[in-house]
Amino acid sequence: MYTDLRRALALFELRPARVATSVAAGVATLGSALTLAAVSAWLITRAWQMPPVLDLTVAVVAVRALGISRGVFRYLERLATHDTALRGMTSARTRLYERLADGNARATLDLRRGDLMARVGADIDAMGDVVVRALVPICVSAILMISATVLIALISPSAALILFLALLLAGVVAPILAARAALITETEGVAARTEFTLIAVRALDHAPELRVAGKLTRTLADASAANRAAVTARDRASMPTAFADAALPLSIGASVLGSLLVGISLYGSTGSALSPMALAIIVLVPLAAFEATSVLPAAAVTLTRARLSASRITTLLDDADAPEPRRVGTGAALQGPHDAARIAVVGPSGVGKTTLLMELAGLVPSDGGLGDAELPGARFFAEDAHVFETSILENLRVVRGDVDADQARAALTKVGLGDWLDQLPDGVDTTLVAGAASLSGGQRRRLLLARALLSDAPVLLLDEPTEHLDDVSGSDLIRRLLDRDGGLVDEDRTVVLVTHQLPPDTRADQVVDLGRSLSAELRKNPLRASKSGRTLSSTRERRWSEVEEL
């Protein structure tokens, strides 16, 4: 578990200097509080003896300075810690996206959307909390606990021993109990929360289909059941949580009472050198010392949650780093040269057109239904690719980060969005506030097509790029995509385009009719053809299969 935590934290690329600055600011904060308690104890006791006022001047100024410095250092500690954490989270997400983009595509393909969202979202946030709520607080607390014990030991070793034992109770036992409670909550509750996320996403995405199928009510009931299971797990963890919460006040009381008894016995003993000021210090300083331990139970909870999150993140990274199997697709039907070819794949719904593209891209294993082929450098562009709630330019940069405004504008104009772009207030910098909901169906397809055109992939696998467009516009785009001189795609790139109906007068190098191929295979091998016929042909149909799983 801790190995996974170290591996996941490596994604954050934490700089030791930044972490050290955060720890130093935290030590200065609690050090001011500890020194303030000692100086205040001395000042109160000394003032009771009514000395000349000038004897108290330095202590009075020190109290004021320490009170101010505590707030200043606390502010600086918050700035430094959160800056370190936020920089680390940005780096971690960037590294994670890069590993997923460059690694085995099946690492994410086999995950449900809710699970993937949790890993790149909530799990990274949990790892970021390690810096703010665990790493820095633990270092600061350890330093302050040792400092407080040494300070009291200079006055009374017995009182220092009592303080040390009490600090162990509050700083070690309480965090262990808190971590145990968190482990119960996370191990038993995380599955329920993940299930709730999956069902909620499914209900939001497929509400119309679920209602038509008469399963929406049951889906909502399943979501409620998963939520109740998470609450039950949290209730089971309440017992160790209660003991952890009680450990801090009990340890404070034991330390103060023990130090007071030790101080009184020493103060009243014959020949004792313990002054009233020293007695006040050994009684009041522990109150400030325990401020350092008060954050440790929360730090233990954070570490426990982060360990589980790190395990899920490293599993995702391992899957992404796994070697990809030899990409053998059903592309022997795509006979002829693959260099700069323009190929159209047609056929009715359910015949396996989308599956063919995914096999050629290496996203799903091939069953060898129509033969063997490899298309190196192929990139699959799904018909329902995500549109992010950011600017149009950033949505296009998904495929290539160096796309500039002029390139984006040119690509959008090529696919027929030039007039629409001119009407937007900020052009390509206009934010799509609601993501895909900000666009019509046709506008979304044109935007996704522009994204594909801007990619640097030598082979474009386009799944229904003109769906939701009118017949004239859609036919024109298909002709231009399949024509080497169409002006949409460079001549040295290959295009494999899936469509339900191919317009006349196209200049494709090859047309593959999967409907006919399936009919021929059915005559030769009914068992294999029935297997191919059951292959899901589109993301929409794959989604419907998720509905049927209910």
Residue with tokens 């190929």: 343
Output 81 or 487, whichever has higher pLDDT: 81
Q: Is residue 54 part of a domain?
A: yes
Instruction: Please tell me the distance from the alpha carbon of residue 475 to that of residue 472, in angstroms, as a whole number.
Output: 5
End-of-domain residue from the set 289, 321, 353: 321
pLDDT at 541 over 50: no
Does residue 384 share a domain with residue 342?
A: yes
Kindly state the average pLDDT of the residues 518-541: 42
pLDDT band at 242 (very low <50, low <70, confident <90, very high): confident
Does residue 191 share a domain with residue 85?
A: yes
Kindly state the average pLDDT of the residues 119-142: 88
Residues in the chain: 550
pLDDT at residue 114, rounded to an integer: 61
pLDDT at residue 165, rounded to an integer: 92
Does residue 277 share a domain with residue 367?
A: no
For residue range 395-416, list pLDDT tens digits in order: 999 888 899 999 999 999 999 9
Closest CA to 281 of 147, 140, 159, 170: 159
Average pLDDT, the chain: 81
pLDDT band at 525 (very low <50, low <70, confident <90, very high): very low
Does residue 342 share a domain with residue 289?
A: no
pLDDT band at 269 (very low <50, low <70, confident <90, very high): low
Contacts of 448 (CB under 8 A, 6+ apart): 381, 383, 385, 387, 465
Closest CA to 308 of 175, 170, 223, 193: 193
CB 477 within 8 A of CB 466: yes
Output 255 or 525, whichever has higher pLDDT: 255
pLDDT at 298 over 50: yes
End-of-domain residue from the set 303, 321, 339: 321
Kindly state the average pLDDT of the residues 240-256: 87
Q: Is residue 183 part of a domain?
A: yes
pLDDT at 363 over 80: no
Does residue 105 share a domain with residue 223?
A: yes
pLDDT band at 534 (very low <50, low <70, confident <90, very high): very low
pLDDT at residue 545, rounded to an integer: 44
pLDDT at residue 526, rounded to an integer: 39
**What's the farthest any 2 CA atoms get from each other in the chain?**
113
Output 538 or 267, whichever has higher pLDDT: 267
Q: Is residue 87 part of a domain?
A: yes
CATH for 484: 3.40.50.300
Closest CA to 320 of 95, 5, 91, 89: 95
Residue with tokens 């199997």: 325
pLDDT at 517 over 70: no
End-of-domain residue from the set 251, 286, 321: 321
| Phi and psi torsions of 459, nearest 5° | -125, 120
Q: Is residue 371 part of a domain?
A: yes
Closest CA to 305 of 89, 125, 165: 125
Among the residue ranges 101-115, 226-240, 318-332, the one predicted with the least confidence is: 318-332
Output 271 or 380, whichever has higher pLDDT: 380
The conformational region for residue 86 under phi > 0 = left, psi -120 to 50 = alpha, else beta, is alpha
pLDDT at residue 482, rounded to an integer: 92
pLDDT at 527 over 50: no
Kindly state the average pLDDT of the residues 463-479: 88
Q: How many domains does the chain have?
A: 2
Kindly state the average pLDDT of the residues 497-513: 87
Domain that holds residue 526: 331-549
pLDDT at 461 over 60: yes
CB 233 within 8 A of CB 189: yes
CATH for 63: 1.20.1560.10
Kindly state the average pLDDT of the residues 170-198: 82
Instruction: Please tell me the distance from the alpha carbon of residue 428 to that of residue 408, in angstroms, as a whole number.
Output: 7
For residue range 300-358, list pLDDT tens digits in order: 988 888 888 888 888 888 888 877 654 444 444 444 444 578 999 988 877 778 888 88
Question: 10 Å Cβ neighbour count for 487?
Answer: 9
Q: In Å, what is the CA distance from 39 to each residue of 143, 160, 284, 314, 463?
A: 20, 18, 10, 49, 74
Instruction: Please tell me the distance from the alpha carbon of residue 112 to that of residue 549, in angstroms, as a whole number.
Output: 13
pLDDT band at 245 (very low <50, low <70, confident <90, very high): confident
Does residue 316 share a domain with residue 360?
A: no
Does residue 351 share a domain with residue 295?
A: no
For residue range 18-48, list pLDDT tens digits in order: 999 999 999 999 999 889 988 888 888 888 8
Does residue 276 share a domain with residue 133?
A: yes
pLDDT at 547 over 70: no
Output 527 or 227, whichever has higher pLDDT: 227
pLDDT at residue 1, rounded to an integer: 53
Does residue 453 share a domain with residue 317?
A: no
Does residue 254 share a domain with residue 368?
A: no
Kindly state the average pLDDT of the residues 77-90: 92
pLDDT band at 243 (very low <50, low <70, confident <90, very high): confident
Q: Is residue 326 part of a domain?
A: no
Does residue 345 share a domain with residue 491?
A: yes
Say what percent of the chain tops pLDDT 90. 25
Output 367 or 189, whichever has higher pLDDT: 189
For residue range 146-158, list pLDDT tens digits in order: 998 998 898 888 8
Instruction: Please tell me the distance from the alpha carbon of residue 165 to that of residue 177, in angstroms, as a whole number.
Output: 17
First vs last Cα of the chain: how many Å apart? Answer: 34
Q: What's the pTM?
A: 0.64
Does residue 347 share a domain with residue 412?
A: yes
Q: Is residue 436 part of a domain?
A: yes
